[in-house]
Amino acid sequence: MSGIVVVGAGQAGSTLVETLRKEGYGGSITLIGAEPHLPYQRPPLSKKYLLGEMELERLYLRPQKYYDEHNIAVRLGTAVHHIDRGAKRVFLDDGARVPYAKLVLATGSVPRRLPAKIGGDLDGVFTVRTLADVDAMAPAFAEGKRLLIIGGGYIGLEAAAVAAMRGANVTLIEMAERILQRVAAPETADFFRDLHRSHGVDIREGVGLERLEGEDGRVARAVLSDGNVLDIDAAIVGIGIAPDTALAEAAGLEIENGIKVNEHGQTSDPDIYAAGDCTSFPHAGGRVRLESVPNAIDQAEAVAKALTGSTEGYTARPWFWSDQYDVTLQIAGLNTGYDQVVTRPGAREGGLSIWYFHGGRLVAVDAMNDARAYMMAKRWIEAGQSPDPAAIADPETNLKKLETH
């Protein structure tokens, strides 16, 4: 009997199958994953796990026992390479064919890689996406190793923090004029630049990579766009990710900055749904694609509910976090299109929050070691309320007593 088949055993895929059972779905469920591991959390990969402060077992979202007890068939270490929409079945790399009544794509993202012609295929060059990636790079995060981090987004900065904490000599290059250019205001970038420099990381902005050079197939040098040459032991590539739409595209599904889904997670084929990083979905009158755990969880839950009869639909309430050294950054909302930024010192020493407004309306906050600012802002953003920017800027203002409109 064909039931629900989920392609991608990551955060969204695992949440989806769990929610199906919680919602009382009694049909067959098959979860198929290309990686050889049970579904696991990715955020610790560039934080506590890489630092050596978290055991492998704690990465797993659920033990095998959970899937057995809930009658969820998990097929790992094998990818789906083709969808036959007419016959409603998927083809696996191990030769199996699995029929479906409904199919869910939860294929995540793929990291952008450096082209081989500039040394991207040398040994000692790593991307940061999977457990296997991080296990392979871990030996380079050691005392005295010379590490080049390419890309000043959150992944690159987190890797730089771990490397510095482990005593490596770290250089981080960012091709744009500043770190976090795509995702945060200059004020947030300033905070993290200072933080990293205070831990000895050499941050170079407006500097790209010309090429990596190797010796005996292993990376040995980086030639930078400003002409500088660095001797290095390893390079970590954090230059962004793209939604993994390969399977959906080959099956002729509509793609628009990700697999295009409606508010129920349904693709252009009514029997195929999608959830997580790989999707773009309706949000605030447009479409958005989010690369975050909260989105993967909430959207997957909404899709599971849609598959079991709910008509509610998914409304994203974006939030995100990052850990670097002893700083926890919490982000609420989406800052797209902001036209005003207000900075506010936190109650805790060294705490700071950066508030983004659009046309006087609060749209997002970056809170560094300032959980109160984060919580208040999140509440206001989700309720569609806004405090007065001038009141936020005044450190004497008690946030809890602030009037909103």
Q: How far apart are the C-alpha atoms of 17 and 164, rounded to whole Å?
A: 39
SS3 148: strand
276 binds ligand FAD (CB under 6 A): yes
325 binds ligand FAD (CB under 6 A): no
Residue 5 bridge partners (DSSP): 30, 103
| Binding residue (CB under 6 A) for ligand FAD from 3, 27, 43, 240 | 43
Q: Supply the minimum distance, in Å, between the C-beta of residue 276 and ligand FAD.
A: 2
32 binds ligand FAD (CB under 6 A): yes
From 38-46, 188-196, 211-219, 229-237, give the range in contact with ligand FAD by CB under 6 A: 38-46
128 binds ligand FAD (CB under 6 A): yes
129 binds ligand FAD (CB under 6 A): yes
Q: How far apart are the C-alpha atoms of 308 and 301, rounded to whole Å?
A: 11
155 binds ligand FAD (CB under 6 A): yes
Q: Supply the minimum distance, in Å, between the C-beta of residue 392 and ligand FAD.
A: 25
33 binds ligand FAD (CB under 6 A): yes
- What are the contacts of 39-44 at 24+ separation with CB within 8 A? 39/9, 39/10, 39/11, 39/13, 39/14, 40/131, 41/11, 41/293, 42/10, 42/11, 42/129, 42/293, 43/293, 43/321
Per-residue x/- track, 75-94, ligand FAD (CB under 6 A): ----xx--------------
Q: What is the DSSP letter of 348?
A: S
Closest residue by beta carbon to ligand FAD: 10
Q: How far apart are the C-alpha atoms of 208 and 177, rounded to whole Å?
A: 10
107 binds ligand FAD (CB under 6 A): yes
| Binding residue (CB under 6 A) for ligand FAD from 6, 30, 42, 104 | 42
From 21-29, 178-186, 286-294, 335-343, give the range in contact with ligand FAD by CB under 6 A: 286-294
The answer to whether residues 277 and 108 touch, using CB atoms and an 8 Å cutoff, is: yes
7 binds ligand FAD (CB under 6 A): yes
Helices (H), 167-284: 186-198, 246-250
Among candidate residues 314, 317, 295, 293, the one with its CA nearest the CA of residue 304: 314
387 binds ligand FAD (CB under 6 A): no
150 binds ligand FAD (CB under 6 A): no
* Residue (230 or 251) nearer to ligand FAD, CB: 251
| Binding residue (CB under 6 A) for ligand FAD from 296, 303, 306, 368 | 296
Among candidate residues 350, 349, 354, 351, the one with its CA nearest the CA of residue 364: 354
Q: What does the angle CA 50 – CA 323 – CA 113 come to, to the nearest 5 degrees? A: 60
Radius of gyration (C-alpha) of the chain in whole angstroms? 22
* Residue (109 or 267) nearer to ligand FAD, CB: 109
Which residues lie near ligand FAD (CB under 6 A)? 7-13, 32-35, 42-43, 45-46, 79-80, 106-109, 128-129, 155, 244, 247, 276-278, 291-294, 296, 320-322
